[in-house]
């Protein structure tokens, strides 16, 4: 992966999603080889020259100004998250030595304390590539009870939530609207790939998912961006039945560390009752003992 290649692919994919009639362009009935806008049409809408836009889309121009990017974002009708992604892809990569292999991700004592503080509420800690770095008892029971509770403690055995969503039958059945969850996973991975284009482990994950899941490959190819910090999902849990939870993703302001995903339900709702039953089923002694690779390792 590289940023300029991603920028070219993103522009081309998003241009292909627009229709001339949808942006007020007349086609006069001519036959078009592709349904999306032509390069020159998008350039006209953005107020830039067609040759310059062509160089951007071909990955040959690496110095687009903020004003040009904003004009393109408006022409492409990007939302806030998509605009931020466009600017991230266009940012010049830092010069220096070749990227080294990423350091293993670990849970800080502060995050471990947070897991203990939300005892009774399902919570999991995810790394940059959606590896499960830690979970409390309820998080384990809600999201992946069919896995060994201790698996996040060993990097080689950690479940990966993106793989679970696309390749694991239990997780697929867990979500009533599986396509919505799948799109959220892909959208977030797109954002991460834009931030860390030189991450070989991330590239390997995307390659593995592309090879083994045609659905992932199709979703990845359309370059949709989806920053899912808060989302509601109906889940069909094998122990407590159907419930609707709000999954909230908490991360540092810098956005460069592990995230904590917490699942809650509306107070007094049947789903809240189901979560209480799940907490009761895990047992108070387990709930107070979040598992992670940092559980016994000082920072």
Is 128 in the same domain as 41?
no
Question: Rounded distance, CA 175 to CA 180, Å?
Answer: 9
Is 81 in the same domain as 166?
no
Question: Rounded distance, CA 185 to CA 227, Å?
Answer: 9
Is 74 in the same domain as 122?
no
pLDDT score, position 254 = 60
Average pLDDT, the chain: 85
Domain membership flag for residue 99? no
Question: Rounded distance, CA 273 to CA 262, Å?
Answer: 16
Number of other residues whose CB lies within 10 A of the CB of residue 288: 13
Domain harbouring 132, CATH code? 3.30.450.180
Domain membership flag for residue 298? no
217 DSSP assignment: H
Is 58 in the same domain as 178?
no
Most distant CA pair in the chain, distance: 71
* Paired residues of 125 in beta bridges: 134, 260
Assessment of whether the complete model's pTM goes beyond 0.85 = no
Angle made by CA atoms 215, 220, 224, in degrees to the nearest 5: 115
Q: How far is CA 177 from CA 6, 52, 170, in A?
A: 29, 42, 14
Domain membership flag for residue 299? no
Judge whether residue 164 has pLDDT over 90: yes
Which of 34, 63, 90 terminates a domain? The answer is: 90
Whether 179 and 222 have beta carbons less than 8 Å apart is answered as: no
Domain membership flag for residue 97? no
196-241 tens-digit pLDDT: 888 899 999 999 999 999 999 999 988 888 777 899 999 999 999 9
Domain membership flag for residue 216? yes
Is 134 in the same domain as 258?
yes
Q: Which domain holds residue 145?
A: 109-292
pLDDT-wise least confident of 151-160, 163-172, 260-269: 151-160
DSSP helix/strand/coil, 263: strand
Domain harbouring 86, CATH code? 1.10.260.40
Q: Average pLDDT in the 98-127 region?
A: 84
Question: Rounded distance, CA 299 to CA 278, Å?
Answer: 31
């Amino acid at each position: 992966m590289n940023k300029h290649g991603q920028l070219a692919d993103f522009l081309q994919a998003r241009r292909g999603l627009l229709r001339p009639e949808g942006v007020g362009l007349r086609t006069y009935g001519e036959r078009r080889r592709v349904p999306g806008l032509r390069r020159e049409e998008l350039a006209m809408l953005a107020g830039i020259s067609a040759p310059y836009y062509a160089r951007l889309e071909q990955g040959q121009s690496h110095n687009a100004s903020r004003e040009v990017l904003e004009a393109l974002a408006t022409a492409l009708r990007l939302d806030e998250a998509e605009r931020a992604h466009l600017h991230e892809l266009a940012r010049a990569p830092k010069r220096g030595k070749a990227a080294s292999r990423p350091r293993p991700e670990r849970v800080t004592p502060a995050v471990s304390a947070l897991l203990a503080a939300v005892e009774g509420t399902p919570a999991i800690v995810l790394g940059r590539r959606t590896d499960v770095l830690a979970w409390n008892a309820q998080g384990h029971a809600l999201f992946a009870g069919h896995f060994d509770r201790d698996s996040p403690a060993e990097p080689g055995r950690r479940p990966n939530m993106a793989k679970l969503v696309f390749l694991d039958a239990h997780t697929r059945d867990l979500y009533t609207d599986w396509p919505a969850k799948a799109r959220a996973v892909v959208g977030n991975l797109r954002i991460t790939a834009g931030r860390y284009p030189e991450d070989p482990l991330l590239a390997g994950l995307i390659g593995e998912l592309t090879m083994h899941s045609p659905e992932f490959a199709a979703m990845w190819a359309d370059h949709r961006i989806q920053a899912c910090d808060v989302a509601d999902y109906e889940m069909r849990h094998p122990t407590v039945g159907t419930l609707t939870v709000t999954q909230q993703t908490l991360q540092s302001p810098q956005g460069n560390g592990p995230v904590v995903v917490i699942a809650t339900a509306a107070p007094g709702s049947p789903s809240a009752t189901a979560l209480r039953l799940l907490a009761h089923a895990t047992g108070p002694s387990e709930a107070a003992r979040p598992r992670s690779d940092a559980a016994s390792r000082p920072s």
